[in-house]
Amino acid sequence: MGTLAIILSLYRVEIPFPILVFLKIDFAEIPSFITYYLLGFNWGLLCSVIHWIMLLARSGDPVGPTMKFLAVSSNLIGMYFVKKITGRMTRIYLILELVSGAIVRIAVMTIANIIVLEILFPYYLGFSKMLLENAGVRVATENEALVLVLVIVGFFNMVHALVSALPALAIVSAIKKRLTSLFE
């Protein structure tokens, strides 16, 4: 699955997110979620580590790959938290798992973005402010730009959590149904 994530990344199977076009809905996350649903948290996390290492090797910039890894791993941690506490796989617990994964992802990525935009690379905030203004969003101050960027990135992470988890669930469900029918 790590290899599939790498292939999807190399072929850039992704959709730019509106306004902040450096954000991409990246389908290369789906293999980590498939692995999580089929084999468990540790294997899903290992898949995301393999993907992260390959992204680091391919890119000269560690920020993007590291942010991707933080997003996927925090999402998986949030999902695992619910699975560990409940131990059930009913529909309601699956929904709770998805919501928990998205909430943890949004929280972790908000903190990570504050660190990147305010401490490590403040010029990224200037670039983001320019993108906001180019999209017709008036931004008076850097703080206002930061808040708007964090809100947009939070919404992006909510959408991406669903785009990564729901297809993975559908694929895993089909795999399990097919395997069950083979052994009946």
pLDDT digits (tens, 9 = 90+) for 27-65: 999 999 999 999 999 999 999 999 999 999 988 889 999
Tokens of 67: 């942010």
Q: Is the dihedral of CA 91, 92, 97, 98 positive or negative?
A: positive
Average pLDDT over residues 164-182: 90
Token digits for 70? 């933080």
Enumerate residues 6+ apart whose C-beta is below 8 A from 31.
1, 2, 4, 5, 8, 47, 51
Does the pTM surpass 0.85? The reply is yes
Residue whose C-alpha is closest to residue 69's, from 95, 131, 118, 59 = 59
Domain boundaries, the chain: 2-8+30-175
Amino acid at 54: M
Topology of domain 2-8+30-175 in CATH is: Arp2/3 complex 21 kDa subunit ARPC3 (1.10.1760)
DSSP 27: G
184 pLDDT exceeds 60? no
Helices 41-58 and 63-86: angle between axes, nearest 10 degrees: 180
12 falls in which pLDDT band (50, 70, 90)? Answer: confident
Q: What pLDDT is stored for residue 129 in this prediction?
A: 95
